[in-house]
Amino acid sequence: MISIIIFINLVVVVVVVVVVVVVVVVVVVVVVVIITIIIIIMSPSLFPSNPANVIVDRMRYSAADAFKAQTFELPREASEGVWSISANFEGSDNKYSETKTVEFEVREYVLPRFSADLKINTDVISRNTGWVEFDVTGKYVYGRNLQGTVEMQLGTWDENDGIRLLPERYGKVLEKGNAKLYAMMSKVFPEASEFPEEKRLYVTVNVTEAGTGENQTLVDTTTILSHPYYKIDFSASDQYFKPGFPFTLKAAIRSQAGKPTPSVPLYAVVIFKDKNGNRIGKKKTYEKADQSSNLVKVYQVSEKTEKMEILVGVLDWMRHVFTDYKHFPEKLKSGTNQYIHISMEKPIGVR
């Protein structure tokens, strides 16, 4: 009897505990749901939503942070279809602006069977550029060389005119996963026509796999069209000379695309003239650009010098480019036409 009563009491206690736990859990869930709904209703800002129009995340940023790019992570099991990201702005008056939305599509990613790559052997094409090599390589994802064909078309591109394709097509069969196509630039941009200065070369290549016909299109606009190939910048050089003082010439030699060309052969000519315009001195030297692709030289300027003319030229035998640029530093004007000459040679005397 006693043991049965104790047993019944135990059952009652267990039931009560279970009921309490269930009630607590239900209350917590309800509170969480209510808070979530409140947050969703109250919060401004950014929220990605999925194709079922379920908002999957909300973020709130300060205005300063929101102007930077934000990264959103898709859930692992993201459903396919059109997703969107919406944003609105909450002003200091707590009013929300109109919501802006961008859409994007989530689709299953089908692994490509191959990858292809294009390399061009120059960064700038100028009037005197000869053959340009377009090197296409293809590999299956499992590592073997791609078998197939390559088709290329050239054109020009710039922000205003967009793409202008030229009619010629170049084609080749991949050998050991590689095809080198060549185009003669004097034919692509004939002398008779205007050189498309300040544009970029537009290169489009279709790579087609032999077995399946699967294809990829590569596009490259990294090569600039500019004449001449080189530019020489004298802005780091002395802009004034003082008769009787040394003058430092600094020339930065770069391709028009900004590529340094260390050790490229150069020549430098400096002509000094007097007040009647007569040549009173000339220095001509052959140099090489240093490892930073600059030329730095110091010239002694005689007292009588009124005018200096500097010419630095590039002698690029490889590219058949011979370009020179001039620099005309001015004589430094002093109000009284007097200069203080300071030189320190030896200790003048020790007391």
Q: Does 215 bind ligand NAG (CB under 6 A)?
A: yes
Residue 321 CB neighbours (<10 A): 20
| Least distance to ligand NAG, CB of residue 207, Å | 9
Asked whether the beta carbons of 149 and 174 are under 8 A apart, the reply is yes
| Closest by CA position to 321, among listed 210, 190, 185 | 185
Q: Does 208 bind ligand NAG (CB under 6 A)?
A: yes
| Least distance to ligand NAG, CB of residue 192, Å | 25
Interatomic CA distance for residues 201 and 230, integer angstroms: 17
Q: Does 221 bind ligand NAG (CB under 6 A)?
A: no
Q: Which residue has the tokens 């036409």?
A: 337
Q: Does 264 bind ligand NAG (CB under 6 A)?
A: no
Instruction: Tell me how far CA of residue 219 lies from CA of 132, 154, 174, 263, 286, in angstroms.
Output: 16, 10, 18, 32, 41
Q: Which is nearer to ligand NAG, 132 or 232 (CB)?
A: 132
Per-residue H/E/C for 246-305: EEEEEEEEEECCCCECCCCEEEEEEEEECCCCCEEEEEEEEEECCCCCEEEEEEECCCCC
Using CB under 6 A as the criterion, what x/- string covers residues 144-183 for binding ligand NAG? -------xxx---------------x--------------
- Tell me phi and psi for residue 76, to 5 degrees: -55, -40
Q: Does 203 bind ligand NAG (CB under 6 A)?
A: no
Q: Which is nearer to ligand NAG, 143 or 167 (CB)?
A: 167
Tokens representing 270 are 């400096």
Stretch that binds ligand NAG, among 56-64, 179-187, 202-210, 262-270 (CB under 6 A): 202-210
| Least distance to ligand NAG, CB of residue 154, Å | 9
Interatomic CA distance for residues 251 and 266, integer angstroms: 11
Using CB under 6 A as the criterion, what x/- string covers residues 24-63 for binding ligand NAG? ----------------------------------------
Q: Which is nearer to ligand NAG, 32 or 210 (CB)?
A: 210
| Least distance to ligand NAG, CB of residue 209, Å | 10
| Least distance to ligand NAG, CB of residue 173, Å | 14
Instruction: Tell me how far CA of residue 298 lies from CA of 35, 42, 179, 238, in angstroms.
Output: 76, 71, 49, 10
The residues of the shown chain that bind ligand NAG, judged by CB under 6 A, are 151-153, 169, 204, 206, 208, 215, 217
